[in-house]
Chain A
Amino acid sequence: MHELSIAHSLVTTATDALDAERASGSDPLGRVKAVHLRLGRLAGVVRDALEFCYDLVTEDTLLAGSQLVIHDIDVVVFCNACQAERTLPGIQRFRCPECDKPTGDIRHGRELELEYIELE
C-alpha cells in the first residue's frame, strides 16, 4: 500500500506546478477543478487505493475539493519480429499478440505522470 505516499507526491507535484505558474506572473489562478493523471498498467499503483486516498491527502491544500481523473495507459511493447508496436491485452504475458514472440521492449505502460491540472 504505497498509494498514500504516491498521493502525497501528487499533491506536492501539483502544488509546485501551481506555485511556479503563479510566480511566473500569469493571470490569477482559479480553483483547481481536476487533476489528470496518466497511470500505466505497469506502474504498480492500484487505482482504487489512489482514488480512496485522494480526498484525504488533498484536504487543506490547493487541490481540496478537486477531482482526480485517472487515464489508464495500456502496456505497449515493440515486437522485433513484426517491427511494430503492439498493445498487450494484460500484464501477465509479454508476447506479441500477433506473432506470439516474447518481447520485453516496453514502450508504454509504466507512466505515473501528472499530465495537467484543470482550473476553473
Chain B
Amino acid sequence: MHPRILEVRRNLLKKNDELARDLRGRFLSDGLFVVNLVSGPGTGKTALLRRTLGELLNRGYRPIALVGDLATDNDARRLAESGAPVRQITTDGVCHLEADMVARHLAEWSPGPADFLFIENVGNLVCPASYDLGESLRVVLLSVTDGEDKPLKYPKLFNTADVAIVTKADLAEACEFDRAAAEANIHDVRPGMQIFSTSAKTGVGFDAWLAFLIDQRTACGLPVRDERPFVSQP
C-alpha cells in the first residue's frame, strides 16, 4: 500500500438528476407539463395553486397536483376544493422534495388522464433549489409581505427558477411594497426572468399567468386543448 489519489469527479446529486431527467422525458411523452412551485413558507403557494387548478379546469384542462409538506395534509385538503385530483406527500421532517419521492407517489396514484402536474414543494427558501423533480418549469414565489430583498438573501432559489410570481398583490399598498425594487432584486440574481404579479384572492394577474402556462405547455410540443369546461366522470 502506498499513498495515492483516487479520482472520482462525480456530482453528489447525480442520482437525483438522472431520475429527474428520466421523469421529465416520461412526463412529456405522457402529455404532462410539470410545474414545480418553490418559495418560503407563507408566500401563498397553496392559494395560488388552488386558483390556478380551478381556472385550468374551467378552461378545459385536466390539472393534478402533488403537495409536499413536513407534516399535516391541510394543503392537500385546501387544494382539493378546486375539484382537481390532489395527493399529499408528507415528508416527515425532510425539508424539500426529491425526484424519487415524486416518482414513488406517482407510481401509487391513479388520478386519471392529466395535462398539467403541479408540484407544490415544501415551504423552504434554501433546500428545494438543489433538487430537480423532473419539472419543465420552476416557479418561485415572492409575496408582497415578504419584503423586496428576499431574492438577495436567497439568490440560489431565485437563480434556479424559470419564472417568478409576486403574490398577494391585493396587499401591496398596505405593505408599502416597492415593486420596482423587488423586480430589480430578482433581476440582479436572475437577469431577464419573467415576473408575474397575482392575487389569488381577487384573481388579478391570473389571465396573464394562465396564458403563459398554456403557452409554455404548447412550446414543449404538447397538444392544445379545447377551451371548454371539463366534466368529471360520474
Which A residues are closer than 8 A to B by beta carbons? 1-2, 5-6, 9-10, 13-14, 17-18, 21, 27-30, 33, 42-45, 91-95, 102-104, 106, 111-120
Q: Check B95 against A2 for contact (C-beta < 8 Å).
A: yes
Query: What's the tally of chain B residues with a CB closer than 8 Å to chain A?
Result: 34
Q: At the interface, is chain B mostly helix, strand, loop or mixed?
A: mixed
A106 proximity list for chain B (CB < 8 A): 159
Q: Check B156 against A2 for contact (C-beta < 8 Å).
A: no
Q: Check B189 against A93 for contact (C-beta < 8 Å).
A: yes
Task: Given A42-B159, A117-B5, A119-B5, verify A112-B191 contact (CB < 8 Å).
Answer: no
Q: How far is the CB of B21 from chain A (nearest CB, A)?
A: 16
| 8 Å CB contact of A102 from B8, B12, B156, B191 | B191
Q: How far is the CB of B172 from chain A (nearest CB, A)?
A: 24
Task: Given A2-B95, A21-B6, A44-B126, verify A92-B189 contact (CB < 8 Å).
Answer: yes
Q: How far is the CB of A83 from chain B (nearest CB, A)?
A: 17
Tell me the bound Cα distance from A93 to B190 in angstroms.
8
| 8 Å CB contact of B3 from A5, A103, A111, A120 | A120
Q: Check A118 against B3 for contact (C-beta < 8 Å).
A: yes
| 8 Å CB contact of A115 from B8, B159, B187 | B8
From 40 to 64 in chain B, residues with beta carbon under 8 angstroms from any chain A beta carbon are: none
Q: How far is the CB of B15 from chain A (nearest CB, A)?
A: 7
A2 proximity list for chain B (CB < 8 A): 95-96, 126-127, 130-131
Query: B131's closest neighbor in chain A, by CB?
Result: A2
Q: List 18 A-B contacts (CB under 8 A).
A: A6-B12, A18-B6, A21-B6, A27-B2, A29-B6, A43-B156, A44-B127, A44-B156, A91-B156, A91-B159, A92-B188, A94-B188, A104-B190, A114-B12, A115-B8, A116-B8, A116-B9, A117-B6
| 8 Å CB contact of B192 from A27, A104, A118 | A104
